[in-house]
Amino acid sequence: MSIIDNTILFVKDKLQNAEGGHDWFHIERVYKNAKRIAEEEGNCNLEIVQLGALLHDIADSKFYNGDESVGPKVAKEFLEKEGASSEVINHVIAIIENVSFKGGNFNQNFTSKELEIIQDADRLDALGAIGIARTFNYGGFKNRSLYNPSIAPKLNMSKEEYKKSDAPTINHFYEKLLLLKDKMNTETGRKLAENRHKFMEQFLAQFYTEWDGEDSIS
């Protein structure tokens, strides 16, 4: 089997008991979106895009007490066993280390077309209907309240503040999700983000209408 096939099997096994918003199906969606964007954009190494997408959340730091070294370590050990070149390994590790949102104030120390594509694919999965479902799934996993009108969203958080936040789930829309459309790297990513962004705005409008008991009667 190819290294891509082996990576798929590895990630499926590694994430079989993962939280629902960061499980194999999240990886699969990011993988599909990354390939789609890569095909539209061109001028990239498709193998790096595939490996980076498949391994980008192999050990998300939020499930390892904030330890950001676990994911790169697990990916590096796997790719070395697969006989990947040092160039491929270093590139994939750099992608894993720089792909996350982290409050929007994280200064990337690495850039590449492949990272831009994977980052867009990952951000797309935080938007639209899937993004809404993942957000409330994770909020439930962390036992967070749905919404508290007295707790305002906190914008421009530092990386550490963002990682430690336990704010109501609705706040996450303003602290991250609604910001993603304007942070897309590629033209394809920007186009795909538009409708998903609009859907979230419609959801929030409906949410507040129902919260206030002001929804109309048919």
Three-state helix/strand/coil letters over the chain: CCHHHHHHHHHHHHCCCCCCCCCHHHHHHHHHHHHHHHHHHCCCCHHHHHHHHHHCCCCCHHHCCCCCCHHHHHHHHHHHHCCCCHHHHHHHHHHHHHCCCHHHCCCCCCCCHHHHHHHHHHHHCCCHHHHHHHHHHHHHHCCCCCCCCCCCCCCCCCHHHHHHCCCCHHHHHHHCHHHHHHHCCCHHHHHHHHHHHHHHHHHHHHHHHHHCCCCCCC
pTM value > 0.85 = yes
Q: Identify the weakest region by mean pLDDT among 101-110, 133-142, 146-155, 204-213.
A: 101-110
- Among 54-58, 77-81, 112-116, 162-166, where is mean pLDDT lowest? 162-166
Q: Average of pLDDT values for 61-65?
A: 65
- For residues 88-111, average pLDDT: 82
Higher pLDDT, 164 or 23: 23
Q: Is the pLDDT of residue 185 over 90?
A: yes
Residue that wins the pLDDT comparison between 76 and 157: 76
For range 26-36, the mean pLDDT: 98
**Average pLDDT value for residue range 88-94:** 97
pLDDT at 103: 47
Q: Which of 14-18, 60-64, 105-109, 199-203 ranks highest by mean pLDDT?
A: 199-203
In tens, the pLDDT along 34-62 reads 999 999 999 999 999 999 999 999 977 67
Residue 78 has pLDDT above 60, yes or no: yes
Q: Which of 25-34, 69-78, 96-105 has the highest mean pLDDT?
A: 25-34
Share of the chain above pLDDT 90, in %: 78
